Amino acid sequence: MDASPPARRPKVVIVGAGFGGLTAAVKLAKAEVDVTVIDRHNYHCFQPLLYQVATAELSPADIAWPIRHVLRRQKNARVLLGTVQAIDLENRKVVADTVTLDFDELVLATGATHSYFGNDEWEKSAPGLKRIEDATIIRRRLLMAFERAELSDDPAERERLLTFAIVGAGPTGVELAGAIIEVARQVMPSEFRRIDLRTARVILIEAGPRVLPAFPESLSDYTRRSLEDMGVEVMTDTRVTKVDETGVDLEHGRLDAATVIWAAGVVASGAGRWIGAESDRAGRVIVEPNLSVPGRPNVFVIGDTAAVKRPDGSPVPGIAPAAKQMGAYVADVIASRAREAVPPPPFRYVHQGDVATIGRRAAVITLPYVNLKGMIAWLFWCVAHIYFLIGTRNRIAVAFKWVWDFMTFQRGARLITDQRDQI
Amino acid sequence: MDASPPARRPKVVIVGAGFGGLTAAVKLAKAEVDVTVIDRHNYHCFQPLLYQVATAELSPADIAWPIRHVLRRQKNARVLLGTVQAIDLENRKVVADTVTLDFDELVLATGATHSYFGNDEWEKSAPGLKRIEDATIIRRRLLMAFERAELSDDPAERERLLTFAIVGAGPTGVELAGAIIEVARQVMPSEFRRIDLRTARVILIEAGPRVLPAFPESLSDYTRRSLEDMGVEVMTDTRVTKVDETGVDLEHGRLDAATVIWAAGVVASGAGRWIGAESDRAGRVIVEPNLSVPGRPNVFVIGDTAAVKRPDGSPVPGIAPAAKQMGAYVADVIASRAREAVPPPPFRYVHQGDVATIGRRAAVITLPYVNLKGMIAWLFWCVAHIYFLIGTRNRIAVAFKWVWDFMTFQRGARLITDQRDQI
């Protein structure tokens, strides 16, 4: 019989309940540790479907799930709502607006936000799409643009109101462009009496030479052609030099557009500054092979907040599967330490593929051994996203809405709920 | 062959797309008139289920439907988003923030709002429940109260945060009380580590001698017993003398409560003032037997904005079926005039019954020949409300969520989406 008192259980604090943080918490369920998850929202947001909230297909609650509910049965975990203000590495404390937490192991998983490349004043005119609030702001602007165009007697103003510019042609930009042109040209024309929504313009602006730069060139070409067939105007090699409330300045001219959406760049959240760590140009913290901060073996940075390289030197992309893999990995490191076992080998990212939808009839997907495009890729995308949603209730509700709206050409969440933020 | 030019089609303007206004618009589909519906929201809200949005069961989009979509196939109708500022009866014009409309026939269906009986400063501390925005405000306060209680180290503060006071025991108050105690005691306890949500208090305060005063006394008694069995504290014959941010003053003492909801009284919207019409104590416009304003045969007031009497002298209640009947009636009057036919006989309200749910296991219903209570009434209520929802998509989505949450004791829309309005 071992009569020595049990060792104190290590306190693990996880900041942020996105894909990385939440995976880390769940994977620590059986570890001999006490886990505290702190987030400024009370829910985990399924970011890959945010564009469907922004385009009135889904409700916010369809893609968000209370963090408490996810962790309700995990006895070693507790959840706190709060915004972290500072981290005291010497005394191992996380200071939030609501509470101060002691930690033995710290996981920073605070994600990323839009980057305006030094032009933060553009944000007001060109919101990005990272949070639920962003999605409802974009939804409101989109729907208000149609309403105001219907009321306007000025042809130039009407044209400006029916012009939608999306800056950045990564997956988010492509998905928004496809969804917006469908709303304008297929869902809503019969509902307006004065304006012809089929004249609405959706312009996808990309500084680089092709859309979906992370994809093989053949899929980029396919995506561009598909978007153009739907009526989207694709402008590659086109740099935005200014954004204001009436439109955007391009290198080669002016584009009047009442609605501008920013999908061009992200920057890591401020977690690097909290701990004074070295970070790359996009604000991502440079980490050790085990995802800890150099010189701070008990502080880990994961997901979009971390700069991690693949064996070939290319960066690990800022996508959900990467964040989940990192979350699972640091959970493994922390659990090993807690039971004084051999630590796992260095983190190794396994790229499972990239995916983007093009409206409601096509998608492009890269998988390890095969690329897919068209309707079959779109069906694959639907099934995969339903599978990865959290909670059976949300899965069924979203699947039903997709099938219904596919058949009826409707959009079910067309609410303008706060008119303070009018364009 | 008749060579005379066709008579100019009368212009009908309907202000407000609640149950009354929307019914009037739809019933005018075949009349030889041009209909314009103007509303400050882009959607029709199904108010009877607002309490389920406030208690995180349904999403706003589940109970709201774009007005444009409802009227999209009605060729003689158009929809405008705007807030009416004034009405010029002499020149027959409706002046809105966005547009000025000429009318030949005017229907005012602007509904009612909460009344604080001259204490409008109470509104900030005790929101009412009439609009989607009200519901999300109440949802946020409810969920934030639990979160803040979990974080608090002060037992008195924790108790105050877990005390929910509802002022007014009509159907809305009863439904809120039942839903809130279920969220606290059945849905969420397993998710919190420090607080015991089973200690949460829900107090239903009523100035009159019994709950559900519009119902037969036996059903009031049954409702009170059912609520008390669920844990709700029912205080009848209790007047509120003051509301502030920390609780309510009652005639016989103080009640500390972080969350106070106002379900005690309504006052008609300002439509009566726009037209300088005589109104009753609750601001409802006194109307002729055909629902027109005295001296203004082409101006009609319907729904919660109108003071209409039943043959026995009692007022027509402010419920959805009454507003719909009035909307259908004025459509009939206007259509008859347009084709120069005999006007219909005076408006006669047919009371179909009253209904209120008590949590997820019982309801009380009065029908013309029978009263129902308990589970059978609750099932009847569910079926009736699904039936009256607008749009098959919403019907299926809501039915699914009810069945699912009934089986799992979940709530699917627990989002705190805007933390600016913290309690």
Calculate how close chain B gets to A414, using CA atoms only, in Å: 6
Q: What is the pLDDT of residue B143?
A: 95
- Does residue A17 sit at the B interface (CB-CB below 8 Å)? no
Nearest to A194, CA basis, from A153, A156, A162, A144? A153
Beta strands in A216-277 (DSSP E): 233-235, 240-244, 247-250, 253-256, 259-262, 266-268
Whether the predicted pLDDT of B316 surpasses 50: yes
Average pLDDT (A152-177) is 96
Residue B385, in any domain of the structure: yes
pLDDT tens track for A298-352: 999 999 999 999 988 899 999 999 999 999 999 999 999 999 999 999 999 999 9
Calculate how close chain B gets to A366, using CA atoms only, in Å: 33
Residue B61, in any domain of the structure: no
Q: Which of A40, A82, A393 is closest, CB to CB, to B404?
A: A393
Catalytic residues of A: 175
Average pLDDT (B284-293) is 96
Whether the predicted pLDDT of B423 surpasses 80: no
The DSSP line for B5-26 is PPPPPPEEEEE--SHHHHHHHH
CA–CA separation, A358 and A224 (whole Å): 9
CA–CA separation, A53 and A325 (whole Å): 26
CA–CA separation, A225 and A210 (whole Å): 11
pLDDT tens track for A13-69: 999 999 999 999 999 999 999 999 999 999 999 999 999 999 999 999 999 999 999
Average pLDDT (A130-136) is 92
Q: What is the pLDDT of residue A182?
A: 94
Could you tell me if A362 and A402 lie in one domain?
Answer: yes
- The number of CA neighbours under 13 Å toward the Cβ of B367 is 10
Q: Which of A72, A397, A404 is closest, CB to CB, to B191?
A: A72
Q: Write down the pTM of the prediction.
A: 0.92
CA–CA separation, A106 and B283 (whole Å): 60
- Cβ contacts of B362 within 8 Å, gap of 6 or more: B226, B373, B374, B375, B377, B378
pLDDT tens track for B64-84: 999 999 999 999 999 999 999
Long-range contacts of B324-328 (CB under 8 A, 24+ apart): B324/B19, B324/B20, B324/B23, B325/B349, B325/B350, B326/B20, B326/B291, B326/B302, B327/B19, B327/B20, B327/B21, B327/B22, B327/B23, B327/B24, B327/B25, B327/B27, B327/B107, B327/B109, B327/B302, B327/B303, B328/B23, B328/B24, B328/B27
Boundary of a domain, candidates A279, A307, A338: A338
Could you tell me if B255 and B168 lie in one domain?
Answer: yes
- Cβ contacts of B269 within 8 Å, gap of 6 or more: B16, B110, B111, B112, B113, B283, B304, B305
Whether the predicted pLDDT of B35 surpasses 60: yes
Nearest to B327, CA basis, from B29, B80, B62, B76? B29
CA–CA separation, B59 and B105 (whole Å): 36
Nearest to B274, CA basis, from B299, B291, B298? B299
Q: What is the mean pLDDT of chain A?
A: 92
Average pLDDT (B272-294) is 93
Q: What is the pLDDT of residue A4?
A: 54
User: What tokens were used for B106?
Assistant: 């005017």
Whether the predicted pLDDT of B121 surpasses 70: yes
- The number of CA neighbours under 13 Å toward the Cβ of B339 is 13
Cross-chain Cβ contact A401/B397 below 8 Å = yes
Cross-chain Cβ contact B417/A132 below 8 Å = yes
Q: What is the pLDDT of residue A409?
A: 76
Could you tell me if B243 and B360 lie in one domain?
Answer: yes
Could you tell me if A318 and A363 lie in one domain?
Answer: no
CA–CA separation, B275 and B295 (whole Å): 11
Cβ-based contacts under 8 A for chains A and B: 133
Q: What is the pLDDT of residue B4?
A: 54
CA–CA separation, A106 and A83 (whole Å): 15
Q: What is the pLDDT of residue A394?
A: 83
pLDDT tens track for A374-389: 999 999 999 988 888 8
Nearest to B174, CA basis, from B385, B359, B419? B359
Lowest mean per-residue pLDDT among A104-118, A180-194, A408-422, B32-46: A408-422
Residue A50, in any domain of the structure: no
Nearest to B158, CA basis, from B122, B201, B123? B201
- The DSSP 8-state label assigned to residue B122 in this structure reads G
Q: Residue A250's pLDDT band (boundaries 50, 70, 90)? A: very high
Residue A394, in any domain of the structure: yes
Could you tell me if A229 and A375 lie in one domain?
Answer: yes
Whether the predicted pLDDT of A423 surpasses 60: no
Q: Residue B409's pLDDT band (boundaries 50, 70, 90)? A: confident
Whether the predicted pLDDT of B160 surpasses 90: yes
Sign of CA pseudo-dihedral B23, B26, B31, B37: positive
Across the beta sheet with A77-81, what order do the strands follow?
A: A77-81, A34-39, A11-15, A105-108, A296-301, A292-293
Q: What is the pLDDT of residue A43?
A: 96
Cross-chain Cβ contact A417/B133 below 8 Å = yes
Average pLDDT (A149-167) is 96
Parallel, antiparallel, or unpaired for β A201-205 and B34-39? unpaired
Residue A252, in any domain of the structure: yes
Whether the predicted pLDDT of B5 surpasses 60: no
* Residue in B closest to A83 by C-alpha: B419
Residue A241, in any domain of the structure: yes
User: What tokens were used for A179?
Assistant: 């969804």
Cross-chain Cβ contact A193/B393 below 8 Å = no
Could you tell me if A242 and A272 lie in one domain?
Answer: no
Q: CATH number for the domain including B34?
A: 3.50.50.60
- Does residue A62 sit at the B interface (CB-CB below 8 Å)? yes
Give residue B333's domain range: 11-40+82-114+266-338
Boundary of a domain, candidates B307, B338, B369: B338
Q: What's at B206, amino acid-wise? A: E
Would you tell me the crossing angle of helices A392-408 and A375-388 to the nearest 10 degrees?
150
The secondary structure element, H or E, covering residue A369 is none
Whether the predicted pLDDT of A370 surpasses 80: yes
Helix (H, G, I), strand (E, B) or coil at B147: helix
Q: What is the dihedral of CA A278, A284, A290, A294, to 10 degrees?
A: 10
- Cβ contacts of B7 within 8 Å, gap of 6 or more: none
Could you tell me if B245 and B304 lie in one domain?
Answer: no
Could you tell me if B21 and B139 lie in one domain?
Answer: no
The secondary structure element, H or E, covering residue A354 is strand A354-358
Boundary of a domain, candidates B314, B338, B362: B338
Residue B154, in any domain of the structure: yes
Could you tell me if B274 and B396 lie in one domain?
Answer: no
Q: What is the pLDDT of residue A418?
A: 65
pLDDT tens track for B208-261: 999 999 999 999 999 999 999 999 999 999 999 999 999 999 998 999 999 999
In angstroms, how far is the first alpha carbon of chain A from the final one? 72
Q: What is the pLDDT of residue A6?
A: 56
Q: Which of B64, B72, B394 is closest, CB to CB, to A191?
A: B72
- The DSSP 8-state label assigned to residue B279 in this structure reads B
Catalytic residue, candidates B57, B175, B182, B206: B175
Q: What is the pLDDT of residue B7?
A: 65
Q: Please list, residue by residue across A322-355, b when 16 or more beta carbons sit within 10 angstroms of its beta carbon and e when fewer do.
A: bbbbbbbbbbbbbbebbeeeeeeeebebebebbb
CA–CA separation, B64 and B61 (whole Å): 5
Q: Residue B356's pLDDT band (boundaries 50, 70, 90)? A: very high
Could you tell me if A31 and A149 lie in one domain?
Answer: no
Nearest to B204, CA basis, from B226, B189, B187? B226
Q: What is the pLDDT of residue A266?
A: 87
Q: CATH number for the domain including B404?
A: 3.50.50.100
Q: Furthest-apart CA pair in chain B: how many Å?
A: 88
CA–CA separation, B359 and B156 (whole Å): 28
Q: What is the pLDDT of residue B1?
A: 44
User: What tokens were used for A421?
Assistant: 């933020």
Whether the predicted pLDDT of A422 surpasses 50: no
- Does residue B132 sit at the A interface (CB-CB below 8 Å)? yes
Could you tell me if B216 and B362 lie in one domain?
Answer: yes
- Does residue B52 sit at the A interface (CB-CB below 8 Å)? no
CA–CA separation, A144 and B251 (whole Å): 47
Residue A4, in any domain of the structure: no
Structural contact between residues A179 and A55, judged by C-beta atoms closer than 8 angstroms: yes
CA–CA separation, A403 and B99 (whole Å): 38
Could you tell me if A366 and A319 lie in one domain?
Answer: no
Whether the predicted pLDDT of B406 surpasses 90: no
Q: What is the domain count for chain B? A: 2
